[in-house]
Amino acid sequence: MKPAPFAYAKARSLDHAIALLDGAPDARVLAGGQSLVPALNMRLSTPSLLVDINGLRELGEISRRNGHIEIGALVRHAQAERSSAIAQLAPLLTQAIPHIAHPAIRNRGTFGGSIALADPAAELPACLLALGAEIEVTGRTGRRSVAADEFFKGLFETALGPGDVLTAIRIAVPGSAARFGFAELARRHGDYALVGLAAAGTVHGGGLADVRLAFFGVGDRATRARQAEAALESGNLDAAVAALQHDLSPHSDVHASAATRSHLAGVLLRRVAAQLDSST
């Protein structure tokens, strides 16, 4: 199919992008275009204006400052996958990114685009939840920071308002006691996950503390499994798996039933718990 007619504008600066978005309430930001362009072609999205932010080089950087690693919204998945700074300071992302689609899509798709889209089966929103990341948003009223726990509101819904540009993601540099785990099940490598789990915790007195379990593919958004987190912190893996019945509300679709997803979530929790433990 062909998209509905739309205007196109290339932003010269972040202020210019925000001014362009402000002038057309149904305008959309164009980043890597890997999700937006198919949606336009299928007429699932019919904005009057696309605001292309690809020229904003300052959004394409990975840097370390004030105890955080900062990843610009325009950092491509492939760039993040190869980044030694991310491998060292946010290794959960290095584990997760190869599961995103295929190399051609990772060459164009952006970190910010994936977070702004908030696909419930996407890897990066769950990683940000597990890492307790902060998401920086810039709009007409200035710049604000939103905790990942508050950012994902529902199916493809986020804390971004009209006219907002997601500008960066900030993740605290982990201490030596930090541990991470990641696993997903998909029909074929590169497909969106049927179920996935990104996890973080710290080693504490022979057990785990500060456990954050973020599941994806099992609801309308990436979801923390808080009762399972508490059970894992008490060292009771069976109780953690059982707690998923309360924490998660998986859906049925053509790919898998809710019961299958629920079972697979337990399988993944056992695998990821072993990763968290094996790195102690």
Site of interaction with ligand FAD (CB under 6 A): 28-36, 38, 73, 100-101, 105, 109-110, 112-114, 116-117, 119, 122-124, 160, 165-166, 192
Smallest distance, ligand FAD to C-beta of residue 143, A: 13
DSSP E strand stretches across the chain? 7-10, 28-30, 49-52, 62-65, 68-72, 134-139, 142-147, 152-154, 157-158, 165-172, 178-185, 195-204, 207-216, 223-224
Nearer Cβ to ligand FAD (241/265) = 265
Query: Quick one: DSSP state of residue 3?
Result: P
Nearer Cβ to ligand FAD (164/229) = 164
Nearer Cβ to ligand FAD (112/250) = 112
Smallest distance, ligand FAD to C-beta of residue 31, A: 3
Nearer Cβ to ligand FAD (217/266) = 217
* Residue among 189, 191, 187, 183 at smallest CA distance from 213: 183
Smallest distance, ligand FAD to C-beta of residue 54, A: 9
**Cα-trace Rg, the chain:** 19
Nearest position to ligand FAD, beta carbon: 109
Cα three-residue angle 198-200-201, rounded to 5 degrees: 155
User: Residue written as tokens 């604000």?
Assistant: 144
Smallest distance, ligand FAD to C-beta of residue 193, A: 7
